[in-house]
Amino acid sequence: MPVETILEDERWQAADLAGLADRAADAALRHLGLDSAGYEIALLGCDDARIAVLNADFRDKPQPTNVLSWPDEDLSAEDPGDTPLPPEPGDPDDPQPLGDIAIAWDTCAREAADQGKPMGDHVTHLLVHGVLHLLGYDHIQDADASLMEGLEVEILGNLGLRDPYRED
C-alpha cells in the first residue's frame, strides 16, 4: 500500500505515523476485498494549527479536528446504509489515487489521553476511519454510521485492537 506520508510536525516521527498508516490502510482495503498494492493515499501529519486552517478552508469550521479526508472521487452509495461503489483498481506500477488525509497530533494526543487509549491505537482507528471516508463511507445518517462503525470495529479487531465505540 503506497501511503505517501508527509510530516509537518516532527512528533509524528516518534509515533511512526507512516507505519501506522500503511498498516491501517492495508487492513481497511484488504477487509473490503481490495488489493492495497493497487491504490495510493497521501497523508499529512500536522498539528492543530495547520488542521484548523484546512478545516476552515474546506469545511468552514475554523477549529482543529482530529482527522480530515478528501476523496479523489465520490464513491458514496445512493441510499443510506448501502455499500459505496468500489474504486477503480490500479496496479503497483500505476496505483489508483484514493485521496488525501490530514491528521493532527495535538487533538489525537489529547483524545487518546482523555479516553485512556494508547496513542497508536487511537491513530490507527482514525486512519481506518479516514480511509473508509476515501472509499465513500460516511456517518451523517444513522444507517451509514452503523455500516461505517461496524466496518471500523471489524478492521480494528482484525488488527488486534479493541472496539473504539465500546464503553467500559
**36: closest CA among 44, 28, 46, 47?**
28
**Cβ-contact 45, 109 below 8 angstroms:** no
User: Annotated binding residue at 133?
Assistant: yes
Is the separation of the CB atoms in 132 and 70 below 8 Å?
no
Annotated ligand binding at 122? The verdict is no
Would the CA dihedral through 6, 17, 19, 40 be positive or negative?
negative
* Cβ atoms 41, 3 nearer than 8 A: yes
> Would the annotation count 139 as a binding residue?
yes
In the block, residue with C-alpha cell 499529512? 44
The binding site consists of 129, 133, 139
The binding site for Zn(2+) consists of 129, 133, 139
